[in-house]
Structure 1
Amino acid sequence: MNTPYGHLSYCSNIHPGENWDEHFAVLQNSIPQIKAEVCPDAPMGIGLRLANQASIDLSINEHFSSFKNWLAENNCYVFTMNGFPFGNFHHTIVKDMVHAPDWTTQERTDYTIRLFELLAELLPENLQEGGISTSPLSYRFWWATDELLEQATIKATGNMISVVEALIELHKKTGKLLHLDIEPEPDGILENSDEFIHWYNNYLLPIGIKQLQSKGLSTEEATEAIKNHIQLCYDVCHFAVGFEKPVKVLEKLNANQLKVGKIQISSALKVDFSENAEEKLNEIAQYNEPTYLHQVVAKKNDGSYIKFPDLNEAITNFSNEINSWRVHFHVPLFLEQYGLLSSTQKDIVDVLDIHKEKPFTQHLEIETYTWGVLPKEFQAPLNESIIREIKWVKGVL
């Protein structure tokens, strides 16, 4: 829905369906009920997640026309998409394979361009801007040496510039300004704001300017195209896991004249071990589930940090040197406390307060996808949970 602070929706990666027929069936069942509760008298935006197979299916004219008609009949529209998970995201072990195939591959490049071609046609006539969030190049631990990591970074960056070339042509053809929104995540090649900015200035711009100059653009034109078409996805959970303060992140982005394409509104688990440490370890063990990666950044008593690739390793290696944890587990937005544990809900409020004061994007997307793997006391019917989250965010706004 359109708010005074941008378009707000939730990401459909919460729903299963890796082919279009399955995913569309879930949308048809869920969206009308949700819309009736959160914006009955206004158009409802959808943050659409399409797996690779679903994107191929939806490219068939018959399927695309049917979806466009359904959007019109239900007073809905698509303004943003999630292109991070390429394949299965439900009812399977995802873990680090959420990055596969990564940006070093042609498969990821082709998939992303296909998504943009669909988004350009799905955007309503009155919307000139759309974005797609994506993986932070690759999974860091797939590259055994610094040299291999460097080579992967360079290759992935070149493939992203190939997407920029496609977006330049789509802009000429449709008038729509589309941007690829890079989503830093713990243990991605790009984990945090500093790494994103370093990559942007030292890899993306130099490689991209050279590649676009070969297509006839000047240095100034190439720089402008890259900054318009490659932006940041500010996933609040991910930055909170890294103990990054929203105001500092946004100050650094502004200083480097880099844009935020989308805020993904999400909340992480937070654990304070200054008291009842053993009880809290037992409680957080409930969140050690086998489907998704739950990276942990631990703050030590001396103020330094240590990282763990997954929650089980953090639990196994816990010591009394640890002061607190941030855990990559997208918990419901509307709760601040989870028994003895808490959440980074305040980071969401802080980000949205900054945004309300001086808006820095037009796209706001709720992204809580872990309902099925939460401890049972925090589970509720899915549509009711989505409605509650949207209403909570509207209240903060």
Structure 2
Amino acid sequence: MHLSYCTNVHPAEDLDGVIRQLDAYAGPARVAAGLDVLGVGLWLPAPLAARLAAEPDALGRLRAALERNGLEVRTLNAFPHEAFHAEVVKLDVYRPDWTDPARLEFTVDAARVLAALLPPGAEGSISTLPLGWRVGWDDAKDRAATDALAALGAELRAIRAETGRVIRLAVEPEPGCVLDDVDDVVAWLASHRDRLDLDHLGVCLDTCHLAVSFADPAAAVAGIADAGIRVVKVQASAALHVERPGDADARRAVEAYAEDRYLHQVREHASAGVIRVDDLPEALDDLPAAAPWRVHFHVPLHLEPEAPLSSTTDVLRAALAAVREVQPVDQLHVDVETYTWSVLPGGPVDLVDGIAAELRWAQAELLERQEQPA
């Protein structure tokens, strides 16, 4: 398995900014984590991806910055299109969706950039949104999205033929979207098997989203494998767990995580089924709070929230173990995706120290421990 950290934690929108952030954060975090080489799951806003795909000199500047910092790229995050650190993001992160030609254009640009950056012999992955937000989705939009993903498959085959580079798209289920959970993604891909190239298209298993859905990790991964689909990428992330959301202390603690930039979908695991709301303030107002909650808030892997809250790193460990059981993992990309450092309760943190500590945790808990014989 190949470990990286996702650079969507950084707000840069242009090449100079991305290079500055590699120099200021990624390189120093590699050193602080004690790693000879650090993988970075690059987030490239759409205008920058287009520039890098079209301008060899610009791509050369990025490659040089990666090399001098001891960094390598095997995966890109092409879920946010741009402005991921705007004052308010919320539903904008799902735009443009897969019915908009801009989404296909962005993803093709990202694939061409990745093909040029991959280490020799490495395969690449690109994570993307699960079609779009569910509201207003209909059969016509589904057909348009299918057409776009079929066209992307043709582009990825062409890149493979031209460059010898294998790049796969990883569809990332997310609460509230058209493809809300792993079962939704598996069913959708399987039902469109006649149109889609499943050799170049698979699943991005975001383990925060998996935990929020209250899915059993082993069963979810088995369902992917049983359908003949591959886990292309794992986004190593943890959700916020609230065991007793009706308790006053728990409510005060979780209220601190309600913030204005990102959407924090919440699920309550009631006896009659999972109750779903689209953001934390709505949960605090409307959910019964009679059963455990999971909150879509990517909490740092190594920082267990203070009681009575907890995180779902157990789901992350179980999901990775399940993937190892059903497919080879020598080309599996494990991308630590904690983009919420700037909105964590308690104010600013030293980002280099935080990223390095999280990487050390991931190296020990996800790679070294998983590789030990039973």
What is the TM-score when the length of structure 1 is the normalising length? 0.88
Map of 1:242 onto structure 2: 213
TM superposition shift of 1:103: 0.5
Aligned CA distance change for structure 1 residues 170 and 112 (closer, same or farther; 3 Å): same
Q: 1:24-70 CA deviation, whole Å, 9 max, x = no partner?
A: 21112112211112344x33221111011221232322211112223
Moved more, 351-360 or 77-86: 351-360
SS state at 1:348 partner: helix
Map of 1:230 onto structure 2: 201
SS state at 1:186 partner: coil
SS state at 2:256 partner: helix
Moved more, 329-338 or 45-54: 329-338
Calculate percent identity across the aligned residue pairs. 33
| Whole-angstrom distance in 2 between the partners of 1:247 and 1:337 | 25
Of the three residues 35, 53, 69, the one matched with 1:74 is 69
* 1:313 aligns to 2:307 (yes or no): no
Map of 2:372 onto structure 1: none
* 1:157 aligns to 2:146 (yes or no): yes
Q: How does 1:49-198 map to 2 (within 5 A)?
A: 49-59=43-53, 60-127=55-122, 129-141=123-135, 143=136, 148-198=137-187
* Count of matched residue pairs: 363
Map of 1:219 onto structure 2: none
Q: 1:202-240 CA deviation, whole Å, 9 max, x = no partner?
A: 2x21333xxxxxxxxxxxxxxxxx111111000000010
**8 Å contact from structure 2 (residues 181, 210) kept in 1:** yes
| Whole-angstrom distance in 2 between the partners of 1:100 and 1:360 | 34
Of the three residues 352, 357, 370, the one matched with 1:383 is 352
| Whole-angstrom distance in 2 between the partners of 1:385 and 1:65 | 29
SS state at 1:376 partner: coil
TM superposition shift of 1:356: 5.1
TM superposition shift of 1:359: 5.4
TM superposition shift of 1:352: 2.9
| Whole-angstrom distance in 2 between the partners of 1:14 and 1:382 | 9
Aligned CA distance change for structure 1 residues 359 and 33 (closer, same or farther; 3 Å): farther
Aligned CA distance change for structure 1 residues 97 and 30 (closer, same or farther; 3 Å): same
Map of 1:223 onto structure 2: none
Q: 1:123-175 CA deviation, whole Å, 9 max, x = no partner?
A: 12232x1000000000012x0xxxx5222122111101111010111111111
* 1:330 aligns to 2:298 (yes or no): yes
Map of 1:24 onto structure 2: 19
SS state at 1:119 partner: helix
TM superposition shift of 1:105: 0.5
What is the TM-score when the length of structure 2 is the normalising length? 0.93
SS state at 1:329 partner: strand
Map of 2:195 onto structure 1: 207
SS state at 1:45 partner: strand
SS state at 2:296 partner: strand
**8 Å contact from structure 2 (residues 182, 220) kept in 1:** yes
| Whole-angstrom distance in 1 between the partners of 2:176 and 2:279 | 10
* AA matched with 2:152: V
- What are the ranges of 5 or more consecutive residues in structure 2 without an aligned counterpart? 368-374
Map of 2:370 onto structure 1: none
**8 Å contact from structure 2 (residues 222, 322) kept in 1:** no
| Whole-angstrom distance in 2 between the partners of 1:238 and 1:177 | 27
| Whole-angstrom distance in 1 between the partners of 2:109 and 2:77 | 13
* AA matched with 2:315: D
- What are the ranges of 5 or more consecutive residues in structure 1 without an aligned counterpart? 1-5, 209-225
* AA matched with 1:266: S
* 1:45 aligns to 2:39 (yes or no): yes
**8 Å contact from structure 2 (residues 173, 204) kept in 1:** yes
**8 Å contact from structure 1 (residues 20, 55) kept in 2:** no
Aligned-residue CA RMSD (Å) = 1.7
* 1:36 aligns to 2:24 (yes or no): no
**8 Å contact from structure 2 (residues 32, 353) kept in 1:** no
Map of 2:344 onto structure 1: 374
Larger Rg: 1
**8 Å contact from structure 2 (residues 15, 62) kept in 1:** no
* AA matched with 1:186: P
